[in-house]
Amino acid sequence: LVADLAGRGPAFSRRLIWVESAQAKTRALDQHRAAATPTVLVSPSLREGVDLPDDFLRFQVVTKMPYPDLGDPWTAARQSRDPRWYALETAKALVQAYGRSCRHADDHGVTYLLDGQFERFLAHYRALLPAWFLDAAHSALRTRLPDASSEWC
């Protein structure tokens, strides 16, 4: 998807700012904030430690549920001892990511969560998510466009 977007021509491609490493994050954020025309940050890891209020962030795309890394031995051991801890960490990371686009009472933004695992997570761990988050998710699920694999919610 991102390669397709970047291939649409130089005018569009110049709007994309790639964040390829933790070291490049500060430079990319500064470039985004200083841009005279709207830009799009492209990064796998802008969930935490980023403050982009108002017009600095009007939409975000979360491609995967933010499950903790089970490849980490400590995380895997903790998850096997307490599966609810793993779910709680996922819920916290998801709400944290969602909060990137709404930094204060008058701020607004749209979060697109593309991972189909979200509905499964919601079905099992709804109680771990705040009511305001559930209201937003319910509204989005109810109004999504139908496709061959889903029905209206």
Tell me: the pLDDT tens digits for 79-113? 999 989 999 999 999 998 887 777 878 878 888 88
Helix locations, the chain, DSSP H: 2-6, 10-13, 22-34, 73-81, 83-98, 117-125, 131-143
Residue 30 main-chain phi, psi, to 5 deg: -65, -40
CA pair distance 91, 84, nearest whole angstrom: 10
Distances in Å between the Cα of 76 and the Cα atoms of 47, 56, 95 are 21, 36, 22
Question: Could you read off the pLDDT of 117-153 as tens digits, one per residue?
Answer: 888 998 899 999 999 888 877 666 655 544 434 433 3
